[in-house]
Structures are given as C-alpha cells and as structure tokens.
Amino acid sequence: MKILIANDHGAVALKFHLLRWLESQGHQVVNLGVDTEDRVDYPDQAALAVKEYFGGSYDLGIVCCGTGIGISIAANRFKGIRCALIHDSYTARMAKEHNNANFLAFGGRVDYKEPIEELLSVFLHAEFQGGRHAERVSKLDKI
C-alpha cells in the first residue's frame, strides 16, 4: 500500500515508530510530518496530509498529534475524508469494516493497551463490508 503519515510535535516518536513498522511490512510510506518537537499546529498538518492524499494516489492516510483527537477533527473537516480515531483492535476493525476509513488517527501521548502495530495490522487486514454500511458511507461523503 501507498500510505502517507503526518504529525505534529506531540507525536514525533510515534510517527517514526509507525513509519518503521509500516515499511518493514512492505508498505511505501511518505513522511509529511515534522521530525522534531518544535511546535507546529495540528490543523495545518491535517490539511497538508489531506491535500497530499487527494493528489497522490494514496491508499491510506495516518495523522498523529498528542491525543489524535484534534488532528482527526481537522482531517474530517475535508470532504471525502473519513478519519477514524483508533483506540483498540475493535475500533480498528470497525473503522474499516463499517466506515471504510481512509485516514486513521493516533495519539503520541496516549498509552495504548494493545501494541499499536497490532491495531494497524487489524485495520490493514480488515475488509469493508459494503451493504448497509456502503449506504451510510455514501451519506457521509455527501455531507
């Protein structure tokens, strides 16, 4: 898969961790995030990621900030983006199976109960179920 990743200063270490793991799994990853903890604003990073996503034939976008909340809200302001804030394997699976998320959000200051690589793996191996979920996703994309 071709995946982009963007972050603010609250998720530098997490971004590098995710980037290394994704590359080890054979994915092509484009790093749009910051590589230092110098302050940047998560709305700007989300906008950068969305712009690149729509212009670059990506399969998935990943955005990270301190909690994942702000950057997911910012990403979801853009038409056609369905950014899911992932907390565990269940939300990772549902983000794909029911919502066909095209962006994921994670928090660099969040203590996850499961390894974050496992959450990503669950999402990447899940399949969109379509049917009634496709109808709902279509409604999201029309809002």
Q: In what helix (H) or strand (E) does residue 116 lie, and over which residues does it extend?
A: helix 116-125
- Domain range enclosing 115: 2-142
Please tell me the pTM assigned to this model. Answer: 0.96
pLDDT number for residue 141? 84
Beta bridge partners, 84, equal 104
Order of all β-strands in the sheet with 60-65: 28-31, 2-7, 60-65, 103-107, 83-85
- 3-class DSSP assignment, residue 105: strand
Q: What are the average pLDDT values for consecutive 10-residue runs of the chain, which has 143 residues?
A: 98 98 98 94 98 95 98 97 97 98 98 97 97 92 84
> Does residue 98 have an active-site annotation?
yes
pLDDT computed for residue 53 by the predictor: 98
Task: Pick the catalytic residue from 17, 98, 125, 133.
Answer: 98
Count of structural domains, the chain:
1
pLDDT for the residue numbered 50: 98
124: CATH: 3.40.1400.10
64 is catalytic: no
pLDDT on residue 129: 93
